[in-house]
Structure 1
């Protein structure tokens, strides 16, 4: 079986920002790359284009999907929020939460983005594909049930999980969020539950600034099933792999999930404008390889990556290509043109030693 790749051109037409212009975005007016917000179509479109050019796309099971249904959305989001979102979308767009502007048709595109994640999970659970990547846009990990936030309008991963629980009777799910920003939406949705392990690796106090503390472990039945790993700015390749080896993999072995989902943001890269981390494309590939091995041992290889953030139009395509090629076991490479620069910018030995000691301390506290 091949790796499934779920995408739709219409997701690239989501108008995520129109602050600086008065163009009537939405409908048949394709959004500009620079619409006022960093979350624009080009990081995703250029990833897909790079895969086409290198031939990686030809090795994948390229799939489309329908939008998530209203019933699927209502398992996570209250009807009142969905009604408000749809009404504003039909009226030409606007903004409901914080940093979540959208144009006409934004509701339908967000439901399609959630549908891609839902279809990716469904295909893996049905055994139609070995594993899967959903190129979802708009992203979802900041969205609370009734409060859109940080470019996220619907909680894509949570919608996919809840659909799979109904359709497949899915049991335990681990969500590993390596987007550089804290996955506060996913955390909030599952904070009181013990059937979903939420684990977020993020830059401390980047966004949101008031969530993501290591002491936030869940509540009630969910106590101990939420894990935050806030890393200091400047963390690089060695720190992220240490987090995987010292915290993530042991947590997965203890939890024994039936499915692993990654909230796959590429904004921890050294070239991202919204963070101060030093991760390389190679880092994402190696983290993916570790989760492939873990999923094979723990849950018959059931692994799904759902696209989240990443705001460098130049570098996201290389991070994504390395990740997806690793997921698919492909030998096709897109040589990282910035690796020499990023290797030279990795933390000094003294700083790296501090970071690794901090990670060891967090491992003791969390495990």
Structure 2
């Protein structure tokens, strides 16, 4: 079976509206691109363009998917939130709080972004595809049912999972979030539930600064089904792979999911402007390979990656290409033009040993 690649041109058209004009403009202050937001379409568009140029896109089952329906959205978000989002979107755009702006038509584009995730999860869960990547934009892992945040307007992964559950396609699902920022939205949605294991690897106290503690394990029926691994700034290739081997894979083996979904942000890369981690394109390819092998052992290979953050326009395409090539088992390569220089910037042996020991201590605290 093929690897699916879900994308839609309309997702590149998401914008922050007039957000830049809330900042001082004039005099010596040059207006900012993308409405003043670091979350721009270029990281995603350049990834798709790179895949086209190398020929990787032609190896995939590339397709769009319908917008997520109102019924799908209502399984996660209350009517009051959806109604206000739609009203502001139709009126020309704005924001619903937490500095998460959108332009006119933002509601429909966000529904399209969620719809791509729905399509990917549905196709893999039903056996139409072996695995899939959803190039969703705007992202979703910070969005709570009634609160947008961190560029996220709808909870894409949760919407997709609940749509699949409504069709009886999945029951137990594990969500691994390796975006550099804590996946507080996904955590919050499933914090009381035992049918979804949520695991977040994130830079400690980056964003949000008040969530993501290792002691936050779930509540009620969800106790023990939420895992946070707050990693030290400067964590690089070997630390990330060690975190997967020491924490993520044992947790997946204990949970035995029907499907694994990855909230796939590329902002843990060494070149990202919003974080201080040291992952490379090779890191993301290697992590994807580990998740692919785990999915084959645990859930018949059912693995979906949904795009989240990543803000280096030059480097995200190479991280994404390495990830999707690994997902598809493709030999089509986009050599990392910075590989040699970035290898010199990886943590020293002593610091790397400290990082791995820190992960080991957290694994013991999590009883893994």
Please report the TM-score for the alignment, with normalisation by the length of structure 1: 0.96
Unaligned 5+ runs, structure 1: 23-31
Give the structure 2 partner of residue 248 of structure 1. Answer: 248
2:185 maps to which residue? Answer: 185
Query: Is the Cα contact below 8 Å between 1:17 and 1:39 reproduced in 2?
Result: no
| Counterpart Cα distance in 2 of 1:232 and 1:215 | 16
In structure 2, what is the Cα distance between the partners aligned to 1:260 and 1:213?
Answer: 23
**Aligned-residue offset at 1:301:** 0.3
2:125 maps to 125
Contact 1:125 1:168 survives alignment (8 Å):
no
For 1:328, the equivalent position in structure 2 comes to 328
C-alpha separation between the residues in 2 aligned to 1:130 and 1:352?
A: 35
Q: Distance in 2 between matches of 1:87 and 1:310?
A: 29
**Structure-2 separation of matches of 1:165 and 1:328:** 25
Instruction: State the alpha-carbon separation in 2 of the partners of residues 34 and 348 from structure 1.
Output: 37
Is it true that 1:162 corresponds to 2:162 in the alignment? yes
> Which residue pairs with 1:26 in the alignment?
none
Deviating beyond 6 angstroms after TM superposition, the runs of 4 or more aligned structure 1 residues are: none
Task: For residue 190 of structure 1, report the CA deviation from its aligned partner.
Answer: 0.2
Offset at residue 16 of structure 1 (A): 3.1
2:285 and 2:5 map into 1 onto residues whose CA distance is 16
Q: Which residue of 1 aligns with 2:281?
A: 281
Contact kept? 1:249, 1:294, Cα under 8 Å: yes
Aligned equivalents of 2:16, 2:236: Cα separation in 1: 29
Per-residue CA shift, 1:88-118, capped at 9, x if unaligned? 0000000112121000000000000000000
Residue 29 of structure 1 corresponds to which residue in structure 2? none
Superposed, which structure 2 residues align to 1:342-353 within 5 Å?
342-353=342-353
Aligned residues: 358
CA–CA separation in structure 2 for the residues paired with 1:231 and 1:351: 13
Pairwise mapping of residues 124-273 of structure 1 onto structure 2 (< 5 A)?
A: 124-273=124-273
Cα distance in structure 2, aligned partners of 1:69 and 1:34: 28
Does the CA contact (< 8 Å) of 1:274 and 1:311 recur in 2?
yes
Instruction: Provide the C-alpha distance between the structure 2 equivalents of 1:46 and 1:99, rounded to a whole number of angstroms.
Output: 26
Deviation, structure 1 residue 33: 5.3
Contact 2:202 2:230 (C-alpha < 8 Å) held by counterparts:
yes
